[in-house]
């Protein structure tokens, strides 16, 4: 069976750091897998402090934004905290245009994001 893992998970000081593997989060099937993996962190593993690290990400479509919004809702419903970090300027622009920079807590880098939990 093919390896569909699209996110690397690491535990740092009680925070689950999820790092995207793909440079382009565009492909429909990838986005579906990414969503499933993210949701499983909350729904199956019960994790409450989650940091999404965008260091590798060069492209992001509106379908991917949809998954992030659903993830944010799930984490909030579970009483947890979700933060984003290391977002490139072009990707940040996508968040800013759609005003999702108001919905998400976006930090400059991993270190600063971890301090903010």
Partner 1 sequence: MADATGERFKLTIPSDTAEGMKAQNRILNSLERLGYTERDLFGMRLALEEALVNAIKHGNGQADDKVVRIACELDDESARVVIRDQGDGFDPGDVPDPTAEENLDRPCGRGIMLMRSFMTEVSYADKGREVTLVKDRTTS
Does the protein bind partner 1 through residue 102 (CB under 8 A)? yes
Cα separation of 40 and 17, whole Å? Answer: 14
- Stretch near partner 1 under the rule CB under 8 A, chosen from 13-21, 26-34, 45-53, 109-117: 26-34
Q: Is 28 in the site for partner 1 (CB under 8 A)?
A: yes
Return the number of other C-beta atoms located less than 10 Å from residue 30's C-beta.
Answer: 18
Q: Contact letters (x/-) for partner 1, 52-91, by CB under 8 A? A: -------x-xxx-xxx-xx-xx----------------x-
In the complex, what is the shortest distance from the CB of residue 78 to partner 1, in angstroms, rounded to a whole number? 15
Q: Contact region for partner 1 (CB under 8 A) — 5-13, 23-31, 77-85, 108-116?
A: 23-31
3-state DSSP assignment of residue 86: coil
Q: Is 97 in the site for partner 1 (CB under 8 A)?
A: yes
Q: Do the Cβ atoms of 16 and 47 come closer than 8 Å?
A: yes
For partner 1, give the closer residue by CB, 5 or 102. Answer: 102
Q: Answer yes or no whether residue 1 interacts with partner 1 by CB under 8 A.
A: no
d(CA 58, CA 14): 28
- The answer to whether the Cα torsion of 108, 75, 22, 111 is positive or negative is positive
Report how far Cα 88 is from the mean position of its chain's Cα atoms.
Answer: 14
């Amino acid at each position: 069976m093919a390896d569909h893992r699209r996110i690397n998970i690491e535990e740092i000081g009680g925070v689950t750091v999820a790092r995207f593997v793909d440079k382009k989060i565009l492909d429909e099937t990838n986005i579906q897998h990414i969503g499933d993996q993210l949701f499983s962190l909350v729904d199956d593993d019960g994790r409450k402090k989650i940091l999404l690290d965008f260091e590798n990400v060069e492209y992001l479509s509106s379908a991917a934004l949809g998954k992030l919004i659903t993830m944010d809702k799930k984490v909030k419903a579970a009483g947890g905290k979700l933060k984003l970090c290391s977002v490139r300027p072009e990707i940040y622009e996508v968040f800013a245009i759609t005003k999702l920079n108001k919905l998400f807590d976006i930090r400059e880098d991993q270190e600063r994001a971890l301090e903010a939990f």
